[in-house]
Amino acid sequence: MNHTPDLFGPTPTTREPLADGAWLLRGFALDQADQLLDAIQRVAGQAAFRHQITPGGHTMSAAMSSCGALGWVTDRHGYRYSDRDPLTDQPWPKIPDILRQLAAEAAAAGGYENFEPDACLINRYTTGAKMGLHQDKDEEDMDAPIVSVSLGAPIRFLFGGSARTDKAAGWKLEHGDVVVWGGPSRLFFHGVAPLGKRAEHPVTGPVRYNLTFRKVRI
């Protein structure tokens, strides 16, 4: 698999390397941002945002929903993927076509061709919400990349190394930015700092949405 972006493929405003196999695609989703936000609201109409509980009993500060064949859930029993929404006992909504196409195009721009996600996690951040450093390691398919789309209020993205103790560098993510990582950096620790009190966007106000696309099953 080629981990060097195709310069003749979809071209974001700028392309910044974060690590070997990891790229920040500035403004990649900007042209479609309004349609992406509409798609998020349609998904939330079927699978409502909720603050999940970690196995340790802590309430996550970011509210979450999912779409795709699998959704990510956490409770006292642990972290896992499920093919049904535990709130409704119904299958998760399908990934809207516009989201699926964006994920494939962003992955290709990061050097990962033929990306077909079967899970899309949707996080909603309000003031003070954050995501601690973690690895995406519950997936069976480690050859597929992770594609992460930012919409709304800006936030500071943290990207470390293969060990939790590795120092994490920070990048400001703004409306329409996309991060793609895989290959050598597939299991690198990452997260976001708390959403700032003054963080705001003209469309979403003091709210940031994040779409994280994953290929779970081989």
**Structural domains for the chain:** 14-214 (2.60.120.590)
What is the average pLDDT across 212-216? 98
pLDDT(52) > 50? yes
What is the average pLDDT across 47-54? 97
Specify the pLDDT at position 202: 97
pLDDT(9) > 70? no
What is the average pLDDT across 150-155? 98
pLDDT tens column, 58-76: 999 999 999 999 999 999 8
**Average confidence score pLDDT of the chain:** 94
Share of the chain above pLDDT 70, in %: 94
pLDDT(2) > 60? no
Share of the chain above pLDDT 90, in %: 91
Query: Quick one: which of 12, 18, 9, 8 has its CA closest to 184?
Result: 18
pLDDT(44) > 90? yes
**pTM, 2 dp:** 0.93
What is the average pLDDT across 173-200? 98
pLDDT(105) > 70? yes
Per-residue pLDDT band at 183 (split at 50, 70, 90): very high
Specify the pLDDT at position 11: 44
Per-residue pLDDT band at 14 (split at 50, 70, 90): confident
